[in-house]
Chains A and B, each alone.
Chain A
Amino acid sequence: MDASAAQPLDLSGREATWVREIETLSEQKLLACYQCGRCSAGCPMVDEMDLLPNQVIRLAQLGMQSVLESQAAWVCAACLTCQARCPKGIDLPRVMEAIRILALRAGGARLLAGDLSPQALAEAPPMALIGALRKAGG
């Protein structure tokens, strides 16, 4: 996903409701973020993300639902480094979870136990399997 691509911006009606939905699910105030970027600077998974964590917040602030197509929320490991470093006290992993939930509601489960190979089921620790299925299984 290209963050620099021009996208229509509309903060009326549906978009505003969508922003409130993210804020309700995550219990976070998105507009508290002033884009300092410390979340992205400390994120250990940022190399794997198509959008930086602060860009995810920015798109969500503006009600741009294209953020649901981003892989960033799925890559987030909820290690809480960003939450610990955010000067505005935003719990980013909760925002990422809200984005994952909205994406799951829109498009169904990303990962089903039946999709995993017998080798993965045998070799992965139960905590990893259960964690992954709870995260992406809907």
Chain B
Amino acid sequence: MARNYAYFPGCTLRSHAQDYERQALAACGALGIELTELPDWNCCGATYPLNAENVMELIAPARILIDAGRYGGDLVTLCAVCFHVLRRSAHFLETHPFALERLNAFVLEAPTTGGPTRATCSKCCEMTSVGQRCAKR
């Protein structure tokens, strides 16, 4: 049974780690996992902002999570740094509704309801949903 996920490659896989992406995509193809690349994706930000004051630094990962929401909500990324940023951003927005509201006001593509949805890693089955808890936790 083929599984289909939204796919976020990230900047480094398109420049310095092209071999890694080629091999991972081939492995996913052999395992029947279809990865649909997000159109018009942007850099995840590369660092998770540790500054409590500046929520705006989360705009880049939030936009990616919002786009992933349009493609079913499950997002795969191969890059450990992208996963770190996206996963922590999703968790932060999940637990800080006020920050999510502020971000949604700034991101033009934000849906009228919902907002960022889920992030998952190619290496684990952990998923989060902004606004709702994963059933496994």
Chain A interface residues toward B at CB < 8 A? 24-27, 78, 91, 93-94, 96-98, 101, 125-128, 130-131, 134-135
Q: Is B125 on the interface with A (CB-CB < 8 A)? A: no
Shortest Cβ distance from residue B68 to the other chain A in the assembled complex, whole angstroms: 19
Pick from B46, B49, B52: contact of A126, CB below 8 A.
B46
Structural contact, A130 and B11, CB atoms closer than 8 A: yes
Structural contact, B53 and A126, CB atoms closer than 8 A: no
Pick from B15, B53, B81: contact of A25, CB below 8 A.
B53
Pick from A78, A91, A134: contact of B45, CB below 8 A.
A134
Q: Is B50 on the interface with A (CB-CB < 8 A)? A: yes
Task: Report the separation of the CA atoms of residues A131 and B45 in the bound assembly, to the nearest whole angstrom.
Answer: 7
Residues of chain B from 1 to 27 with CB closer than 8 A to chain A in the complex: 10-12, 15-17
B residues near A93, Cβ cutoff 8 Å: 50
Among B17, B50, B79, the one with the most A-chain Cβ atoms within 10 Å of its Cβ is: B50
Secondary structure of the B contact surface, majority rule: loop
Interface residues on chain B, number (Cβ under 8 Å): 19
Structural contact, B52 and A127, CB atoms closer than 8 A: no
Residues of chain B from 67 to 85 with CB closer than 8 A to chain A in the complex: 79, 81-82
A residues near B46, Cβ cutoff 8 Å: 126-128, 130-131, 134
Q: Is B28 on the interface with A (CB-CB < 8 A)? A: no
Q: Is B134 on the interface with A (CB-CB < 8 A)? A: no
**Given A125-B15, A125-B16, is A130 in contact with B45 using a C-beta cutoff of 8 Å?**
yes
Task: Report the separation of the CA atoms of residues A126 and B5 in the bound assembly, to the nearest whole angstrom.
Answer: 25
Structural contact, B53 and A24, CB atoms closer than 8 A: yes
Structural contact, A25 and B52, CB atoms closer than 8 A: yes
Structural contact, B50 and A127, CB atoms closer than 8 A: no
**Given A134-B45, A134-B46, is A127 in contact with B81 using a C-beta cutoff of 8 Å?**
yes
Q: Is B47 on the interface with A (CB-CB < 8 A)? A: yes
B residues near A97, Cβ cutoff 8 Å: 50-51
Shortest Cβ distance from residue A29 to the other chain B in the assembled complex, whole angstroms: 13
Shortest Cβ distance from residue B44 to the other chain A in the assembled complex, whole angstroms: 9
B residues near A125, Cβ cutoff 8 Å: 12, 15-17
B residues near A101, Cβ cutoff 8 Å: 51
